[in-house]
Amino acid sequence: MKKTLTHKILENHLISGNLVKGEEITIKIDQTLTQDSTGTMVYLQLEAMDVDSIKTELSVAYIDHNTLQTGFENADDHEFIKSVAKRHGIIFSKPGNGICHQLHLENYGMPGKTLLGSDSHTPTCGGLGMIAIGAGGLDVAVAMAQGTYSLTVPEVIGIELKGELRPWVSAKDVILHILKKLTVKGGVGKIVEYFGQGVSNLSVTDRATITNMGAELGATTSIFPSDENTRAYLASQGREGDYVSLSADPNAEYDQVYEIDLSSLEPLAAMPHSPDNVASVPEIGEIKIDQVAIGSCTNSSYSDLMKVANILKGKKVHDNVSLVISPGSSKILSKLAENGALAHMINAGARIIECACGPCIGMGQSPKSGGISLRTFNRNFKGRSGTMDADVYLVSPETAAVSAIYGVLTDGISKGLKLDPIKEEVFDKNDNFIVYPRGFNKSNTPVVMGPNIKPFPLNKALEDQVKGSVVLVGGDNITTDDIMPSDARLLPYRSNIPYLSNYSFATIDPAFPSRCKEAKEGIIIGGVNYGQGSSREHAALVPLYLGIRFVIAKSFARIHRSNLINSGIIPLVFENPDDYDELKLGQKLVIENAKEQIDSAVIIVKNIDTGKEIKTVGNFTQLEISMLKAGGKINMIKGQEK
Ligand code: MIC
Ligand code: SF4
């Protein structure tokens, strides 16, 4: 069989199982990354597992999401993470160093390696030819403790790239084009692998933009070959020694193949409120805009920001627009400062903010009421910007910068502008933002825990009768931002589940927490792609805390489904999606003989109010069944240790 690059890397890392689509395998994890907003839970869990040393080749704890420090909570979380990192041999990246994915690409990602990260955009490093997967925090904690990760072998979609992008059309437009075609659920259970002649016309940071937003397809990950452009990128970061050449076999067997002619693409935008609601910029028309935000793990590379600086040079940001720019890393910001590009941005009237996630996760820069914001980010879910009635459009850096000048959504081609080519740069190593764990260990470093850090909830072992009342009937594509919103007010409480629980589903059903408290045991009903978006396991831990026993949906997003199982909440899929229509708030449902039923292909849920039996499908692997029986992954691991 002619092998895909995905299969080659998985095969090299296979610990157990058969590398056959749909089967469960366990692979070796070489590297892990965490960020602070999921990291506090990861490190509480790592401490709970009481391991002596981590088993990965390299693990890094980044602080990039929650850097406002509006109160002691942020700073306490950072100190906590730093102390656990030192105890376990984990590299710690201080706030201000940059966004985890950009930093990992620059400093640590390596072709052919595996990376597991507690953030859904971990696939960014797929741009370097590695298998980089986003997962829930507990899975990352276990990967550090045991050096492994289990997954169901996904299908591999091949995307053949031909031709070359025109000026003013960039990597963001490639992934927006794919999102339009495949939608936000098109990648679930799949890995997207790029190949073909057009690959050589994309730099590593272009590729990283594409693999980053593969997360919005719901894909397990996305990957590019490692070629001369990879060598050049690694060399620019002083890491040429990490280069290996990697690609799929010629005529590799993909489960599906799509072809994209890069030269046929045009500037695109994802319209409110979904990354797959894509149209071309001229089609949408010159709508008046209030804010432009450039940055995030999708589009904050050196070349992205140099393009922006060149466009802004000698120009003025439109009077009605607030332009805000957050560079991806301290190295990038420092280079922009050295070569004068930063001055072009500031002189044009741009606000420069910290190298961090910032507005992407609602940490400031919320648009005005009813405002229109153009962002180079990856998600435009309703309310994510912090303003419920704002309209967010996702665009490329080029489109964002030109639009900021004109005050309307527009692009360089429509305006007949010229775009200067970007000169490649070599970056100096700067690890002054890094705390190495050298000389520290468990015996000489105590865990530093502030008062806001509360224990995480644990489930109980599966009982024979699992019941509850329907506390929410949600629609399609419910996001983890809906289940557990995050913004500047809530992000400081990522280590305080009881506090967060008061805001679960706050943006779509503020009565949800009180309804759960009244019901004591609750059930959530969802549509297709339930739990899309972030990897935050808070979207499972908070429902667990609120007494949710199971969720029945038309389908689930991958990471959220795993997080539910890790927490011992049973994710069930309607065998007949029409049964969804009959379920109403307040109805009582029960799974009888749950311990037995959990092993079977079809699980019957009885509606006590109507007497109807609903057929659901679990499709659980053996490992998942063990977790559900034990009441979650931690209970399962503790049980195995006895
Ligand atoms: C996001 O972009 O939604 C986040 C914030 O980075 C999340 C992680 C989190 O919720 O902490 C993600 O993408 O996984
Ligand atoms: Fe940070 Fe936004 Fe990227 Fe999430 S998507 S890691 S919040 S920059």
pLDDT reported for residue 52? 84
Domain 466-641 sits in CATH 3.20.19.10: yes
Burial class of 578 by CB neighbour count within 10 A (0 to 12, 13 to 18, 19+): exposed
Distance 344 CA to ligand 2 centre (A): 26
Measured distance CA(164)–CA(262) in Å, rounded: 5
Evaluate if residue 640 carries a pLDDT over 90.
no
Query: Which protein residue has the closest C-alpha to ligand 1 atom 2?
Result: 534
pLDDT in tens, 292-312: 999 999 999 999 999 999 999
Percent of the chain past pLDDT 90, that is, above it, reads: 96
* b/e sequence 372-385, b meaning 16+ C-beta within 10 Å: bbbbbbbbbbbbbb
Evaluate if residue 641 carries a pLDDT over 80.
no
Of 42, 119, 481, the residue with max ligand 1 atoms within 8 A of its CB, to mutate for a pocket test, comes to 119
- Three-state DSSP at 166 gives coil
pLDDT in tens, 423-451: 889 998 889 999 999 999 999 999 999 99
Domains in the chain: boundaries: 5-14+24-264, 268-415, 466-641
Q: Comparing 268-415 with 466-641, is the CATH topology the same?
A: no
Q: What would the mean pLDDT of 557-582 be, rounded to a whole number?
A: 98
pLDDT, mean over the chain: 97
pLDDT reported for residue 487? 87
Q: Is 361 in the pocket of ligand 2 (CB under 6 A)?
A: yes
Radius of gyration of the CA atoms of the chain, in A: 23
CA geometry: angle at 270 spanning 272 and 327, to 5°? 105
Q: How far is CA 374 from CA 146, 309, 384, 400, in A?
A: 42, 17, 13, 6
Of 37, 361, 392, 494, the residue with max ligand 2 atoms within 8 A of its CB, to mutate for a pocket test, comes to 361
- Please give the full DSSP string across 350-416, using - where no structure is assigned: PEE--SSSGGGGTSS-PPPTT-EEEESSS---TTTTS-TT-EEEE--HHHHHHHHHHTBS--TTTTT
Q: What would the mean pLDDT of 510-528 be, rounded to a whole number?
A: 98
What are residue 19's phi and psi, to 5 degrees? -80, 70
Q: What would the mean pLDDT of 445-465 be, rounded to a whole number?
A: 95
pLDDT reported for residue 50? 87
Closest atom of ligand 1 to 119 CA is: 14
Q: How confident is the model at residue 539 (pLDDT cuts 50, 70, 90)?
A: very high
pLDDT in tens, 391-403: 999 999 999 999 9
Distance 38 CA to ligand 2 centre (A): 12
- Please give the full DSSP string across 230-284, using - where no structure is assigned: HHHHHHHTT-GGG---B-PPTT---SEEEEEEGGG---EEEPTT-TT-EEEHHHH
Distance 579 CA to ligand 2 centre (A): 36
Nearest ligand (C-alpha, residue 535): 1
Distance 35 CA to ligand 1 centre (A): 9
Evaluate if residue 415 carries a pLDDT over 80.
yes
Evaluate if residue 96 carries a pLDDT over 70.
yes
Distance 118 CA to ligand 1 centre (A): 8
157 Cβ contact list (under 8 Å, min separation 6): 187, 190, 191, 192, 193, 219, 254, 255, 256, 257, 258
CATH architecture of 268-415: 2-Layer Sandwich (3.30)
Evaluate if residue 2 carries a pLDDT over 80.
yes
Q: Is 204 in the pocket of ligand 2 (CB under 6 A)?
A: no
Closest atom of ligand 2 to 298 CA is: 3
Of 382, 535, 558, 562, the residue with max ligand 1 atoms within 8 A of its CB, to mutate for a pocket test, comes to 535
- Bridge partners (DSSP) of residue 160 are 195, 259
Q: What would the mean pLDDT of 555-572 be, rounded to a whole number?
A: 98
pTM of the model: 0.98
Best CATH choice for the domain 5-14+24-264 from the list 3.30.950.10, 3.40.1190.20, 3.30.499.10, 1.20.58.1610: 3.30.499.10
Least confident of 326-330, 391-395, 486-490: 486-490
Q: Is 375 in the pocket of ligand 1 (CB under 6 A)?
A: no
Distance 119 CA to ligand 1 centre (A): 6
Evaluate if residue 387 carries a pLDDT over 80.
yes
Q: How confident is the model at residue 361 (pLDDT cuts 50, 70, 90)?
A: very high
Distance 231 CA to ligand 1 centre (A): 30
Nearest ligand (C-alpha, residue 356): 2
Burial class of 427 by CB neighbour count within 10 A (0 to 12, 13 to 18, 19+): middle
Measured distance CA(530)–CA(122) in Å, rounded: 20
- Three-state DSSP at 5 gives helix
pLDDT reported for residue 88? 97
Distance 536 CA to ligand 1 centre (A): 6
Q: Is 357 in the pocket of ligand 2 (CB under 6 A)?
A: yes
Residue type, 429: K
Evaluate if residue 642 carries a pLDDT over 70.
no
pLDDT in tens, 116-158: 999 999 999 999 999 999 999 999 999 999 999 999 999 999 9
